[in-house]
Structure formats: structure tokens, C-alpha cells
């Protein structure tokens, strides 16, 4: 009966419209109540214990840092920086969209923030003069947005590290090469569509010249933004500060750049950034608390150990295990948000992975890349919904447009999964 209320209750609560965080929490409470052995007073105690974690503070501060950089005008400066180098290409705006998303991802750690920040600018440039289709332009912003969690700092990787006790610094370093590979593969798919559909055929002046962008000024302003991930990763791996301290440093750096260099951050925009960050952070922490409680209830019911024993029994090869896990991640990504999947599924999967000899840094990178791509897999890819809402497009036509990117992304996932040095070489090199 307790098992029914744990899983069946969660499904029922979601169906009747409760937010996922409340559904997980109340399902856990119902399971405890029917079991009768543990007092319900443990519920608020476990909620507090779940979020009383120093590493989780990094999420809050990275959210604030990303919002400060957004309010401080970082999006357009990153776009202008990329245009300096790629404006000569046919279809340059599409390529600039993807690369700008990769760069902004190195500041925000969030796929949805990246989709909104870059897409709100690049979509309107792409549909200007009817150079690209409206639906395709919106879809591309969602695709590029997924790079926001594939490039460090990555909020999903912080959650993964908190569950598995893996090194956040090693995870950040390990995801760099796979993230760049995914960006490159997205560009290849983009260029294929541009050639096939005849987008951007007219010969144009270079975008930098046409928009009268001073390349030296754009380079100078772009460098200030790009220094932030260098400081964060360099500080973590150089042993100067912890991941949580690096997030605080990122906030301080974002404020200095926004107030004194870009001069677009003021007390009004600062207040707006902090208010929005508080809402996003509270949402994340509530989800972490209730999902962790749900996981704790599963643990006292011995569900993880039973799943671990079952998977270890039927999966004699780590290669087969990784294939099954990737398929599971893809299916879950079609219906659930990335953070929810990490909080619920990873506790069941990482121990069998370790037993089969899979490096937990490598496993974390695989999970991050796969679940990030879940943000664009129909029917509930959240980045698609953000892009559709932002551009006043319907989401249904975007499903067809995104399919090539899903296939391309799956190929990239297989490369990252079965070529382990892609995740671990840079970690080993930095450790020397």
C-alpha cells in the first residue's frame, strides 16, 4: 500500500494539476502515513536537511550571477562579439545564435535563461527581411538554449554532485569538451538546413559593417563577459576557492562589470535581478527539498537497493547499461524537467554504474548532455515552450523543425557515452 501511495500518489497529484514539487512531497507524506512506523514530524525535518547544504548554495549564487549579467546587457555584447568572427558566413545569424548561446551558458548555467536571453535578440534579427522562417528561427533559439546547461557552470551538474558526492570542479571541467562537441554538431545540422532550404541566399554586406559595429569596441566589451567563466573554472580548479565561493565571486564580478564597465546595471535593475533570482531560487530549492524527501522515503522502503541489485544482475556489461540508461534519460526528458529527473532517477542509477566500473564524472557528463537535450524533445520540451511563448509562435510546428537536432544530439550523446576520454581527458590533464 505504501508503494502505491508513493508512486501512484505522485502520478495522481500531477494529473489533478499540483506542481511537481508539491506532488512529490505529498506522495511521500501519504506513503509514510500508510506505513505508520515513522512519525510525520520527520517530513519538515527532512525538507530542511535536504537544502541545508553548502554546495547547493552555488546554485542560488549562479542564478543571481546569471540574472545580473542579463540585466547588465551581456546578451547583446556577446552577440556582437561573435559577429566579429562569423559575420562573413552565409547563414551567419543562425551560427551566431548557437555560439552566443554557448557563451551565455558559460555565465548562466540555465537552459531556459539562455533561450530567453539570446533568443529575445537573435530571433528578431533572423526573421528580419524574411531571411529565415519564423518557426525555424524560434526552434533554433530553443536548440541553442540547451547549451546553457552543457557548458559550465551547469545547475544540473551541481545537483548531480550533491547526490553522488562527485567533484563539482571535475564535472565542470569534464563537460567542457562534450559541450563544445554538441555546439559544433548543432552548427553542422544548422548549416545543412540553411543549404537545403536556401536560407540567407542574398549577398549582403558583412553584418559588422552593416550594423556599424566597431569590432575593437565589441571585442573589448565581449572580453569582460568571457572572463567570468575563466575566473570561475580557474578559481575552482586552481584551488583558490570552492564552487560555492566561485559563485559568490561571479556575483561580485557581474555587479562590477554591470555597474562600472557596461554601465547598464543600476539600483532599479539590480532590484529586479535579485527579485527574479529569488523566485527562481526558491522554486529550485523547493523542488530539491521535496524530491530529496521523496528519495529518502524510497530509501527507507529499500527501493534503491532493490533496483541496484536488479540492474547489476541483468546488466553484465557497462556498455549495455549505458545504452539502456541513455534511452531511459531520453524518455524521461520527453515528459519531465531536467532537475526533477536528476533528483529522482540519479539516486537509483549511479550506484549500479559505479559497480560496473563507470567513472562517476563520465556518468554525470552523460546525464547532463542527455537531459539537456531533453529540453527540446517533444512533447514537453520546456525550451521549446519558452521559445514559442517568447516569439508568439505555436509550439506544435516546432516539433517537426526540431527533429533533425534531436537526431544530431543523439549521435553526439553516443559519442560522449562511448568515447570516455571526451569527458575525462581534460580532467586528467588539469590534475597533472
Q: Distance (Å, rounded) from C-alpha 378 to C-alpha 342?
A: 19
- The whole-number pLDDT of residue 200 equals 64
pLDDT recorded at residue 359? 95
Q: Within 13 Å, how many C-alpha atoms sit on residue 94's CB side?
A: 26
pLDDT digit string, tens, across residues 149-162: 998 888 899 999 98
Q: 186: how many CB neighbours lie within 10 A of its CB? A: 27
Q: pLDDT digit string (tens) for 150-207?
A: 988 888 999 999 889 999 889 999 999 999 999 999 999 998 998 888 876 553 444 4
Asked whether the predicted pLDDT for residue 39 surpasses 70, the reply is: yes
- 284 has pLDDT over 90: no
| CA angle (158 as vertex; 255, 285 as ends), nearest 5 | 80
Question: Between these two residues, 275 and 200, which has the higher pLDDT value?
Answer: 275
Element (H, E) at 126: helix 111-127
State pLDDT tens for residues 89-145.
777 888 889 999 998 888 777 888 888 888 888 898 888 766 788 999 999 999 999
Instruction: With beta carbons less than 8 A apart as the criterion, state whether 123 and 390 touch.
Output: yes
Could you state, in order of their start, the residue ranges of all structural domains in the chain? 2-431
In this prediction, residue 203 carries a pLDDT of 39
In terms of pLDDT, which residue wins out, 425 or 60?
425
93 within 8 A of 200, measured Cβ to Cβ: yes
- pLDDT of 208 > 60? The answer is no
Average pLDDT, the chain: 84
pTM of the model: 0.84
Amino acid at each position: 500500500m505504501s508503494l502505491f501511495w508513493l508512486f501512484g500518489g505522485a502520478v495522481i497529484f500531477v494529473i489533478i494539476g499540483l506542481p511537481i514539487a508539491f506532488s512529490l512531497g505529498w506522495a511521500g507524506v501519504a506513503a509514510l502515513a500508510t506505513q505508520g512506523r515513522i512519525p510525520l514530524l520527520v517530513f519538515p525535518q527532512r525538507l530542511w536537511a535536504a537544502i541545508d547544504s553548502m554546495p547547493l548554495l552555488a546554485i542560488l549564487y549562479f542564478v543571481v550571477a546569471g540574472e545580473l549579467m542579463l540585466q547588465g546587457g551581456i546578451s547583446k555584447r556577446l552577440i556582437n562579439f561573435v559577429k566579429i568572427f562569423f559575420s562573413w558566413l552565409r547563414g551567419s545569424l543562425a551560427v551566431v545564435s548557437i555560439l552566443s548561446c554557448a557563451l551565455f551558458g558559460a555565465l548562466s548555467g540555465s537552459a531556459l535563461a539562455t533561450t530567453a536571453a539570446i533568443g529575445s535578440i537573435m530571433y528578431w534579427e533572423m526573421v528580419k527581411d524574411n531571411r529565415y522562417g519564423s518557426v525555424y528561427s524560434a526552434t533554433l533559439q530553443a536548440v541553442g538554449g540547451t547549451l546553457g546547461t552543457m557548458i559550465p557552470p551547469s545547475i544540473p551538474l551541481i545537483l548531480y554532485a550533491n547526490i553522488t558526492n562527485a567533484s563539482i570542479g571535475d564535472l565542470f571541467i569534464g563537460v567542457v569538451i562534450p559541450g563544445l562537441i554538441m555546439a559544433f554538431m548543432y552548427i553542422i545540422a544548422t548549416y545543412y538546413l540553411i543549404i537545403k532550404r536556401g536560407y540567407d541566399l542574398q549577398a549582403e554586406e558583412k553584418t559588422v559593417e552593416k550594423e556599424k559595429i566597431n569590432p575593437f569596441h565589441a571585442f573589448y566589451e565581449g572580453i569582460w563577459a568571457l572572463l567570468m567563466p575563466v575566473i570561475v573554472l580557474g578559481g575552482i580548479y586552481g584551488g583558490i576557492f570552492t564552487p560555492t565561493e566561485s559563485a559568490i565571486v561571479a556575483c561580485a564580478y557581474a555587479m562590477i562589470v554591470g555597474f562600472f564597465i557596461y554601465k547598464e546595471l543600476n539600483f532599479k535593475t539590480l532590484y529586479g535581478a535579485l527579485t527574479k533570482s529569488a523566485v527562481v531560487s526558491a522554486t529550485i530549492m523547493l523542488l530539491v527539498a521535496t524530491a530529496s524527501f521523496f528519495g529518502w522515503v524510497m530509501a527507507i522502503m529499500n527501493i534503491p537497493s532493490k533496483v541496484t541489485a536488479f540492474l547489476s544482475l541483468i546488466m553484465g556489461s557497462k556498455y549495455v547499461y549505458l545504452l539502456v540508461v541513455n534511452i531511459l534519460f531520453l524518455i524521461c526528458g520527453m515528459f519531465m524537467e531536467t532537475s526533477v529527473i536528476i533528483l529522482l532517477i540519479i539516486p537509483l542509477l549511479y550506484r549500479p554504474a559505479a559497480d560496473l566500473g563507470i567513472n562517476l564524472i563520465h556518468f554525470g557528463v552523460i546525464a547532463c548532455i542527455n537531459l539537456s537535450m531533453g529540453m527540446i524533445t517533444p512533447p514537453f520540451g520546456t525550451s521549446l515552450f519558452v521559445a514559442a511563448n517568447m516569439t508568439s509562435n505555436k509550439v506544435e510546428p516546432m516539433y517537426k523543425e526540431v527533429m533533425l537536432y534531436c537526431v544530431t544530439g543523439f549521435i553526439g550523446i553516443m559519442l560522449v557515452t562511448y568515447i570516455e576520454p571526451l569527458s575525462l581527458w581534460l580532467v586528467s590533464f588539469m590534475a597533472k
